[in-house]
Structure 1
Amino acid sequence: FAGDVNQPINIAIVGAVYRPGPYTLQGGVARTGDAGMPGAVSNSNSPTTITRAIQVAGGIKPQADIRKVQVVRPTRVGTPQIFEVDLWSLLETGDLKQDAILQEGDTVLVPVATALSTEEVGQLAAASFAPDTIRVNVVGEVEQPGTVALPPNTPLSQAVLAAGGFNTRSSTGAAELVRLNEDGTVTRTAIPVDFAQGINEESNPLLRNNDVIIVNRSGIANVTDTIGTILSPLGGIFSFFRLFNLF
């Protein structure tokens, strides 16, 4: 794994990153941006490594299997060489040998993990080659509904607070978490909201980029809205009759 730092190289990054595809990179220090946005590289004499390439490609996704990252390298004989690196070892023990230097024509493949614990997802989100921020949509009965930018490892309750907290019409007992999964399926889960609750997969899960949190109306607000809907046409009729002094 050697290369000329000053020579741009053409590589490809595929798999569980936010912006897979071909890149032309030169040695430098990379910084991961928001999830789904390309990272930036500053000028320096640092070589292009696997983690720097991942940063430029927007960072790893939450379900990335960084234990089995592959580098596919073309050879003159036509049969590519395949190297496997363990970036988890880099995170846990600081094994810099795992952050291999890339060469012209390399392809970096970041596979998807079959299962990750909550603790592992949290560690991945805090890695230097994960996105700096994620974006979550909080809609419904909160003070400031809309998209909020949050640090990785933010739980659901903190996202509700970032949107201004519950308004007076909200059902404060629970919210719904809508998530687009890696396999294309969508899950919708009712989550009890307790601002004193720590991180917990069942009651206060860590959020992912593009999650949607729905805060529904309370039962009283539903009843009030229903009554208002019923009475609204009657109000219009009475106003019409008043024009002719019938009432």
Structure 2
Amino acid sequence: MGLTLDEVETKVAYELGQRFLQEPPDLIAVLSQPRPVQLTILGEVTRPGYYFFGPGITLNNVIRGVGGSTPQADLRSIIIRRPLVDGTVLEERVDLYTPLIEGTHLPQLRLQGGDTVIVSKLDPTQKDYDRNLIAQTNLAQPTITVRVLIPTAPIGLAIRNLTLPNGSAA
């Protein structure tokens, strides 16, 4: 219903006082279970879509929860869009790449229900982006599928799919 605990207490106490009691009672509302956070995850992640997570989920846990980023992901430019009650949308860019390179803490941005996370695509001309490092982190998908074309006699091709650990040289 979108009410805070204080609003629930006030509304229920008022209704009880109006309908069944001579005056509004003292009332305490308790949250028995927090509501899950609904997020939309788009872009360069393994499984984009709509997800429900527990409250207080962080961005890096969301990316891991959807299977990690793809090899084309640019973790320097992750966009978080948050709709506000008045219809406006806040947009923030988050960089998960630089903390990995510098060995510092990842930003602990907590996501809220209704947020959209967009993992941007890496510009293929980028030379200063260490894909091998990202492939070995827990933010990347754990495996990749490589399609191999094998020449067969007399004139043909066989196609084989190999599943390899992400970041492997083989």
* TM bracket (short chain): 0.5 to 0.7
User: Residue 12 of structure 2 corresponds to which residue in structure 1?
Assistant: none
User: Residue 131 of structure 1 corresponds to which residue in structure 2?
Assistant: 141
Does 2:63 align with 1:54? yes
Are the equivalent residues in 2 in contact too, given 1:70–1:83 (CA < 8 A)? yes
**Separation of aligned partners in 2, 1:75 and 1:119:** 34
Are the equivalent residues in 1 in contact too, given 2:41–2:49 (CA < 8 A)? yes
Counterparts of 1:147-186 in structure 2, within 5 Å, are: 147-155=161-169, 158=170
Structure 2 unaligned regions, length at least 5: 1-32, 153-158
Residue 141 of structure 1: how far off its partner (Å): 5.7
**Separation of aligned partners in 1, 2:103 and 2:34:** 26
| Percent of residue pairs bearing the same amino acid type | 31
Residue 68 of structure 1: how far off its partner (Å): 1.5
Does 2:109 align with 1:100? yes
Are the equivalent residues in 2 in contact too, given 1:65–1:111 (CA < 8 A)? yes
Q: Secondary structure at the match of 2:142?
A: coil
Q: CA RMSD in A?
A: 2.6
TM-score, normalized by length of structure 1? 0.48
Residue 83 of structure 1: how far off its partner (Å): 1.4
For 2:93, which of 84, 88, 93 is the aligned residue?
A: 84
Q: Does 76-85 or 133-142 show the bigger shift? A: 133-142
What is the aligned length?
132
Relative to 1, partners in 2 of residues 1:97 and 1:137: Cα closer, same or farther, differing over 3 Å? Answer: closer
Residue 94 of structure 1: how far off its partner (Å): 4.2
Counterparts of 1:1-247 in structure 2, within 5 Å, are: 6-26=34-54, 47-96=56-105, 98-114=107-123, 115-117=125-127, 120-140=130-150, 146-155=160-169, 158=170
**Separation of aligned partners in 2, 1:94 and 1:76:** 37
Deviations 1:23-63 (A, max 9, x none): 11126xxxxxxxxxxxxxxxxxxx41111111222211112
**Separation of aligned partners in 1, 2:116 and 2:132:** 27
Structure 1 or 2: larger helix share? 1
Deviations 1:63-99 (A, max 9, x none): 2121121111111221111111110122123443524
Structure 1 or 2: larger strand share? 2
Once superposed, which parts of structure 1, at least 4 consecutive aligned residues long, lie more than 6 Å away? Answer: none
Relative to 1, partners in 2 of residues 1:95 and 1:83: Cα closer, same or farther, differing over 3 Å? Answer: farther
Q: Secondary structure at the match of 2:76?
A: helix
Are the equivalent residues in 1 in contact too, given 2:96–2:106 (CA < 8 A)? no
